[in-house]
Amino acid sequence: MEGTTPMNKGEGGTRGKLFAIGDVHGCATELRALLNQLPLTPDSTIVFIGDYIDRGPQSKEVVDTVLELSRSHRVVPLLGNHESMLLDFLVDPESERGGMFIYNGGSATLASYGNDRGEFHIPETHLAFFKDLPLIHQTDRYFFVHAGVPNIPLEALDVEKYRLQMLWIRKPFHRSSFTWSRKIVHGHTPVAEVELCRNRINIDTGCALNRYLTAIQLPEQIIYRTPRQPQPERVHLRDRNSRRIGVRFKGALPVFIYRSEATYALETLDYNEFGMYMRDAIHRDKVLFAMGEVVLGDIGSRAHEAVNFEGEIVRIHREPDGVYYAVKMTSPPTGPDD
């Protein structure tokens, strides 16, 4: 099997405690409080299930905390779908994948690395952290992965072939009665309480959704958790060089607006978490929407990454190449894992 980390000597009866921690999503205060609860010893192993960043206000501080912890304990940080989207954004911020990072909570991550000029800088140590994250970790009894695995034996699992499923899979895995050779420990899909199933354990209890950050001690299945702390305000990357509330990103993201009679496909020219400037290049001679109209739809062409949005049309103008609309978000876009 590709991408496997070394066998954990502390699980299975030799020495050391084994812990797994669910999706943190920028909740550094909660992570530090949770770590203070754990009965850690110098030979403990702590597996992070991925999604350190996005949504919460302290993504940079979360990574700092994980790196600091790794200096005194064996830490196994896995790749989550949000780190994967960040890497796509860093390669090409104007790509659709880069745009979906922003709309899946990435603006909060960039803000945590930002300055007063609306610029962000990710330290080399953090870039190396994101780039080196493995997809899986396994012990003699457990298989750790961010989202889940397909219904095939773990011994035959090609990590690169099934990478997308292991970062994004949901219902097919959750409903599966397949018996794997190890119990799957995962996160990705928020649940109200830890799911202790016959073939899997879900430890994402939705800290970014104002619930809890959870850790589990294995094989004892002792659960530790800390509640989300009150948040002063939603963080974002401010544009200090203009009157805009947030930095705008350029790129052609597909936008689908739904009405009872039809679905209309447009694309953005620039966007941020608060609004979009988009073009209808199909209906060049027809204005489809009215000033002040509230529209509903999706942003993104990939079902696993797409976000739902609600917005108000605040500006319209026509050009030879299409009709242009400015949309102000009336509620924050929500991703598939909200």
**96 touches 301 (CB < 8 A):** yes
Please tell me the predicted confidence (pLDDT) of residue 178.
97
Please tell me the predicted confidence (pLDDT) of residue 316.
98
> What is the CA angle 199-82-336, rounded to 5?
70
Cα 187 from Cα 169, distance rounded (Å): 10
Please state the pTM of the whole predicted model.
Answer: 0.91
35 membership: H or E segment, kind and range: helix 28-37
Position 231 confidence tier, pLDDT thresholds 50, 70, 90: confident
Please tell me the predicted confidence (pLDDT) of residue 52.
98
Cα 99 from Cα 271, distance rounded (Å): 8
**276 touches 262 (CB < 8 A):** no
> CB count, 10 Å around CB of 96?
20
- CATH 2.40.10.220 domain extents, the chain: 249-329
Please tell me the predicted confidence (pLDDT) of residue 14.
37
Q: Is the pLDDT of residue 8 over 50?
A: no
Position 252 confidence tier, pLDDT thresholds 50, 70, 90: very high
**Measuring CA to CA, which residue among 78, 100, 81 is closest to residue 89?**
100
Position 335 confidence tier, pLDDT thresholds 50, 70, 90: confident
**205 touches 213 (CB < 8 A):** yes
CA distances from 58 to 55, 123, 129, 146 (A): 9, 15, 16, 20
Please tell me the predicted confidence (pLDDT) of residue 337.
63
Segment among 83-87, 101-105, 228-232 with least mean pLDDT: 228-232
Average pLDDT over residues 286-312: 95
Segment among 105-114, 129-138, 233-242 with least mean pLDDT: 233-242
Please tell me the predicted confidence (pLDDT) of residue 246.
77
Round the average pLDDT of the chain to a whole number and report it. Answer: 91
Q: Provide the β-strand partners of residue 243.
A: none
Q: Is the pLDDT of residue 59 over 70?
A: yes
Q: Is the pLDDT of residue 205 over 60?
A: yes
Fold of 249-329: Thrombin, subunit H (2.40.10)
Q: Provide the β-strand partners of residue 307.
A: 299
- CATH 3.60.21.10 domain extents, the chain: 18-227
**47 touches 144 (CB < 8 A):** yes
- Of the candidate CATH numbers 3.60.21.10, 3.90.320.10, 3.40.50.720, 3.40.50.150, the domain formed by 18-227 belongs to 3.60.21.10
Please tell me the predicted confidence (pLDDT) of residue 338.
66
